[in-house]
Structure 1
Amino acid sequence: MDLTDLPDFVLPLVAAVAAGGLIGFEREWRGRAAGFRTHILVCLASALLMEAAVSQGAWRFAPLAGTEIVSDPTRMAHGVLTGIGFLCAGVIFRAGFSIHGLTTAASLWLTASIGLLFGAGLFALGVTGTALTMAVLVVLRLVSKGLPQHDVVDVEVAWRRTDPEAEARVEAVVDAVDRSRRDDRFELTDGGEAVRRTFRVKLTGDGTLKALAAQLRAIEGVTAYRLDPRND
């Protein structure tokens, strides 16, 4: 392999940068931790490694006499997709009972797959994968906004143990927004001075979350609360 071979590698790498940038721009726009540059680097790295794998015959090593080299680029693909899992795990985090970052992790995994496709010269499949990924991230999100919104929210409320009526008032407020709510956790905190409970509810409408916070704040005896929407 020499400089005259470089033009054959330019198009796959440019396509990988474009695909990674397109997917990463959507994540950057959403304010996710892994955004524009991260997705470009993931896609470009995958394409570079696959280019190296499919060009194994040009590697600088001398095979033993009488032996034959058999190239298997799929091993490189397996290695890349396994390794990208560590990067995907870095964008997934837990806040209370909510898990965030799963969509971004999936987009990184898909971006690595698209980079491998471009690196292998499968341009039609790579472009199709990019288009479908953008459709899932953008078009389906717009469709979901047109549907009735039901946001899942983890509600954590703490009140003084010496106020026996606080629990009933908290339950009444939570039941008013979602009668099918689920109790997740019961705790005795602050050395036995406070009770903390966590509920999982479904809210409808943009102002419901703010109204729920105001109602919890108005309850006598409530010392703390946290509303954690499960948005990804």
Structure 2
Amino acid sequence: MTVQDVMDWTVIPPLLLALLLGAVVGLEREIGAQPAGLRTHMLVAVGAALFTAAGFELGADRTRIAAQVVTGIGFLGAGAIFKEGVNISGLTTAASLWVTAAIGLASGLRLYWAAVVVTAVALAALWLFKVAEANWLPDRHRIRITLTLAPDHALDEVERAAVGTLPTAHVLRIDYAGHDQSIVLTARGDNDTSLSAIAEALRRLDGVQGVEISR
């Protein structure tokens, strides 16, 4: 076996570790039905590890390799972020992709314990975030409501009635153009909130002709 063969084989352990650790983080995202799940995180981790390991073997500047990986992962993370109504989703998944790339970089540099510890910290942060969001941050869950009003119906009457029906609601915008008028509100609504029940309650208000709700 030649020296080159030995060098080739030494690259395998960091790649396998990166693949495993990326799968661990990706599995948590996959269970949460996030846009970037198991396969994406595995590929990010092993790709970052391979770039780093290859540069390490060739004697390239490690900081330049890391900078290129971070730049590339920025574009991928941006693709995981999207807007839904008044909510912005995917920020946590984008951050998990960024951390997964760092885990791959650490694996490629043979910083095995650092990669394992960061994976454990990332999992703890993702889990604690879910617990905190469910129990201590109810205002993070918001729904957007658009009420279409009957022509010439008093806007203030509908506004008071809507806020009375949904105590957590507040008005974002009021549109009035001739006979077309509408009120846009936002209100608290977690994943267990029945949107159809809210729509039905608002539809019964005097002057309301249409209801549109989105998370």
Q: When the two structures are superposed, what TM-score results if normalisation uses the length of structure 2?
A: 0.85
2:141 pairs with 1:173: no
In the alignment, the residues of structure 2 paired with residue 111 and residue 143 of structure 1 have an alpha-carbon distance, to the nearest angstrom, of 22
Q: When the two structures are superposed, what TM-score results if normalisation uses the length of structure 1?
A: 0.79
1:4 counterpart residue number: 6
Aligned equivalent of 2:200, options 193, 214, 229? 214
2:188 pairs with 1:186: no
SS of the residue 1:162 aligns to: coil
In the alignment, the residues of structure 1 paired with residue 80 and residue 183 of structure 2 have an alpha-carbon distance, to the nearest angstrom, of 28
1:162 counterpart residue number: 151
1:175 Cα deviation after fit: 4.3
Tell me whether 149-158 or 95-104 shows the greater mean CA deviation.
149-158
In the alignment, the residues of structure 2 paired with residue 199 and residue 37 of structure 1 have an alpha-carbon distance, to the nearest angstrom, of 38
Report the CA distance shift for 1:125/1:141 in structure 2 as closer, same or farther (over 3 A).
Answer: same
SS of the residue 2:188 aligns to: strand
Report the CA distance shift for 1:96/1:204 in structure 2 as closer, same or farther (over 3 A).
Answer: closer
1:80 Cα deviation after fit: 0.8
Aligned length: 213
Which segments of 5 or more consecutive residues in structure 2 lack a partner in the other structure?
none
1:103 counterpart residue number: 92
1:66 counterpart residue number: none
- Is the 8 Å Cα contact of residues 213 and 227 (structure 1) preserved in structure 2? yes
2:31 maps to amino acid: W
Runs of 4+ residues deviating >6 angstroms: none
Aligned equivalent of 1:22, options 10, 16, 24? 24
SS of the residue 2:173 aligns to: strand
1:36 Cα deviation after fit: 1.0
2:110 counterpart residue number: 121
1:205 Cα deviation after fit: 9.2
In the alignment, the residues of structure 2 paired with residue 40 and residue 219 of structure 1 have an alpha-carbon distance, to the nearest angstrom, of 51
- Is the 8 Å Cα contact of residues 173 and 212 (structure 1) preserved in structure 2? no
Report the CA distance shift for 1:95/1:7 in structure 2 as closer, same or farther (over 3 A).
Answer: same
Aligned equivalent of 1:142, options 122, 131, 134? 131
SS of the residue 1:184 aligns to: strand
In the alignment, the residues of structure 1 paired with residue 82 and residue 164 of structure 2 have an alpha-carbon distance, to the nearest angstrom, of 29
1:5 Cα deviation after fit: 1.7
In the alignment, the residues of structure 1 paired with residue 155 and residue 97 of structure 2 have an alpha-carbon distance, to the nearest angstrom, of 45
Report the CA distance shift for 1:159/1:92 in structure 2 as closer, same or farther (over 3 A).
Answer: same
Quick one: percent identity of the two aligned structures? 33
SS of the residue 1:226 aligns to: strand
1:99 Cα deviation after fit: 1.2
